[in-house]
Amino acid sequence: MPSNAVVHLIDDDGAVRHSLAFVLTAAGHAVRVYESGSAFLAALQTLQPGCIVSDVRMPGVDGLELLRKLRELGVDMPVIIITGHADVPLAVGAMKAGASDFIEKPFDDETLLRAIRIALESYEASSDRDAERAEIRGRLNSLTPREREVLDGLLAGYPNKTIAYDLKLSPRTVEVHRGNVMAKMGATSLSSLVRMALTAKVLPTD
What the chain holds in terms of domains, given with CATH numbers, is: 6-130 (3.40.50.2300), 142-200 (1.10.10.10)
Mind listing the pLDDT tens digit for each residue in 181-197?
999 999 888 877 877 87
Sheet strands (E) in 59-155:
79-83, 101-104
pTM (predicted TM-score): 0.63
pLDDT at 166 over 90: yes
Q: pLDDT for 151-161, tens place per residue?
A: 999 888 889 99
Helices (H), the chain: 14-26, 37-42, 63-72, 88-96, 109-141, 145-155, 160-167, 171-185, 190-200
The pLDDT confidence band at residue 1, using thresholds 50, 70 and 90, is very low
3-state secondary structure of 7: strand
Amino acid, single-letter form, for residue 14: G
Asked whether the bond before 106 is cis by omega within 30 degrees of 0, the reply is yes
The mean of the pLDDT values for the chain is 85
CB 30 within 8 A of CB 5: yes
Higher pLDDT, 205 or 134: 134
The pLDDT tens digits of the residues spanning 135-155 come to: 888 999 999 999 999 999 988
How many other β-carbons are positioned within 10 Å of the β-carbon of residue 88? 7
CA angle 133, 146, 143 (to 5 degrees): 30
Helix (H) or strand (E) holding 55: strand 50-55
Of the pLDDT bands very low, low, confident and very high (cuts 50, 70, 90), residue 99 is confident
- Give the span between the Cα atoms of 81 and 98, in whole angstroms: 10
- The span from the CA of 196 to the CA of 164, in Å, is 23
Report how far residue 107's alpha carbon sits from residue 164's, in angstroms, rounded to the nearest whole number. 65
